[in-house]
Amino acid sequence: NGTWDSGPDWGNSYLKLLPANGTLSMADFFTPFNVSTLILQDRDLGSGMATLLPTFSSSPFPHIMIGAGKEGRIYVVSRDNMGHFNSACDCQIVQSIANAVGVATNTTDLTRNYSTPPYWNGNVYFSGTNDTIKRFHLSTATSKLTTTPSDTSATTYAFPGSNPVVSANGNGSGILWAIETGAGILRAYDATKLTTELYNTTQNAARDAWGSAIKFAPPLVVNGKVYVGTRTQLVVYGNL
């Protein structure tokens, strides 16, 4: 967030920095066409981190990054040629999908997204404010997303949405984990079909329920266990 003037101030931009002579130097950048509006309306690009995807050797854009800011616009950017700035449109990047993530609550609160999208097996997932979790399919031949979700969760996530993560056994058995912050609920979905909820912590509340969640914090999945940090404790879930 902050001022943008195409250098030295780089607010609301994706930057590529490379080491040179013991420091970091600017190698490439992308700034949205409507950067002035983003600044005036506090719709900063940095509300959600971008995700670097694996190499797609059959695509004309083999190295991409995907992210979205408060505006809820998804950006697919080539890491080899990030596109710089075009005041007319974002047509110089791989793809831009407007109003793809989150729902603005009113004319004064325009924030839609605080999530960082996980990638798994050709799928990219977003969880915006006042919105369902959305799964977008990615073509490895073009490095572009479907412009509408392949499917969505049944649950709508209030502010600030969630920061979902995926656990899997390689390209199989994918599970998407998400925390419903206000309600303090951990949910698990079939990562290939978000309409299928596999588990949530209200199903056996006496055993699994926990206190208020910390906003923006994702669950951590490692070695068959799911870790959730709350305001007062660290909760660990595992196989029964």
CB atoms within 10 A of CB 95: 19
Does residue 50 carry a pLDDT above 70? yes
Does residue 112 carry a pLDDT above 70? yes
Give me the mean pLDDT over the 30-48 stretch. Answer: 92
Question: What does the pLDDT read at residue 183?
Answer: 87
Contacts of 71 (CB under 8 A, 6+ apart): 38, 43, 45, 110, 112, 113
pTM above 0.85, yes or no: yes
Give me 79's structure tokens. Answer: 């890491």
Q: Compare 6 and 168 and report the one with higher pLDDT.
A: 168
Angle at 182 between CA 159 and CA 2, to 5 degrees: 35
Give me the mean pLDDT over the 41-64 stretch. Answer: 94
Torsions phi, psi for 208 (to 5 deg): -110, -15
| Local confidence band at 97 (pLDDT 50, 70, 90 cut-offs) | very high
Give me the mean pLDDT over the 12-18 stretch. Answer: 95
| Local confidence band at 71 (pLDDT 50, 70, 90 cut-offs) | very high
Identity at 52, one-letter amino acid code: L
| Local confidence band at 108 (pLDDT 50, 70, 90 cut-offs) | low
Reduced to 3 states (helix: H, G, I; strand: E, B; else coil), residue 184 is coil
pLDDT tens per residue, range 145-187: 999 999 999 999 999 999 999 999 999 999 999 999 888 899 9
